[in-house]
Amino acid sequence: MKHANATHVARQIRVISEKEWQSSGRNEKRELEANNSQIALTPKDVAKRLKEAVLTLRQLPMKDLKPPGYRSNWPDVVHDAAEAYGYDDSSYREDPPTAAAITQMDEAINWLCCLDKNHTRLVWMVADEIPWKKICRCFGISRATANRRWKYAIGRIVQFHP
């Protein structure tokens, strides 16, 4: 018996530049969007996916990454609003990300493999919404240079993405 998921076909991604997307005619855009076998990635899409990857990574539980110490075999206690009110500040723990979000995060992080170390750090810091002033101080460059290098790195991801 075949499952419904087995009938889905993997979609091939076609990468185009922002200028090519803007210069293409309306009919070409419709054909590209209507064709389910190809999805166009623009620099804006890459930047958006990297920001989503940062948010997804923040939502992942990090309890196993702590150094070893006193541990308990009991599951983590989930406090409700009634227990959190009063003595301590109330805290809200977001739901863990979905499997699709984690898959997209892994794909976006793999895009960074085509960049060198400094460009990878720069792209990740911008996606993490660290202020440009701190980024410039970290790399010892001006704001214009940092922006130019970020655009170059995003363009390189778009260019070399399979």
pLDDT digits (tens, 9 = 90+) for 59-98: 887 766 556 666 667 766 766 666 655 555 656 667 889 9
User: Between the CA atoms of 161, 33, 6 and 45, what dihedral angle is there, to the nearest 10 degrees?
Assistant: 40
Q: Specify the higher pLDDT residue, 56 or 17.
A: 56
CB count within 10 Å of CB 50 equals 21
Burial status of residue 111 (CB atoms within 10 A of its CB: 0-12, 13-18, 19 or more): buried
**How far apart are the two ends of the chain, measured CA to CA in Å?**
34
Residue 10 above 60 pLDDT?
no
Q: Which of 155, 118, 162 is nearest to 140 (CA)?
A: 118
State the pLDDT at residue 79. Answer: 64
d(CA 44, CA 21): 11
What's the token pair of residue 85?
A: 């009110």
pTM confidence score: 0.62
Q: What is the DSSP letter of 128?
A: T
What's the token pair of residue 152?
A: 């170059």
Average pLDDT rounded to a whole number, residues 110-115:
92
Under 8 Å between Cβ of 39 and 31: no
What's the token pair of residue 20?
A: 């090519």
Under 8 Å between Cβ of 143 and 122: no
What's the token pair of residue 129?
A: 């919404």
d(CA 96, CA 105): 13
What's the token pair of residue 153?
A: 């790195």
In this structure, the strands spanning 38-41 and 12-15 are parallel
When pLDDT is cut at 50, 70 and 90, the band that residue 24 belongs to is low
